[in-house]
Amino acid sequence: DVHPLLVLSPREFNVRTGIVIGLPMTTARYNETNPFAIRFVGPKGAVSYILGHQPKSFDWRARAAKPHPWKQVTEETFVLACETLNQIILIGS
């Protein structure tokens, strides 16, 4: 079962711990009205959403996780996802 995830944790952390921390991604259109969903368009025009209110962690080795075919989002989208999560966790406030 495939569960796309925008990985937020740095590679060094991921390698040392075997854990990744990130935000799930989905193509479910009902997220269009979700204030914590970051809309972005993939390489072939597929509209997707990063769920900024649902941080997850998992053991990528145990799950044999692989990089998403899209590889990465734009830096602008990545920053927006981090800022959206920070509205909830309030780092630095």
Q: Give the total number of structural domains in the chain.
A: 1
pLDDT tens string, the chain, 93 residues long: the values are 788 999 999 999 999 999 999 999 999 999 999 999 999 998 889 999 999 999 999 999 999 999 888 888 999 999 999 999 999 999 886
Give long-range contacts, CB 8 A cutoff, 24+ apart: 84-92. Answer: 84/36, 84/38, 84/50, 84/52, 84/53, 85/8, 85/23, 85/52, 85/53, 85/55, 87/36, 87/52, 88/36, 88/52, 88/53
* CATH classification at residue 61: 2.30.30.110
What is residue 71's predicted lDDT score, i.e. its pLDDT?
Answer: 85
Range of the domain at 43: 5-89
The model's pTM is 0.90
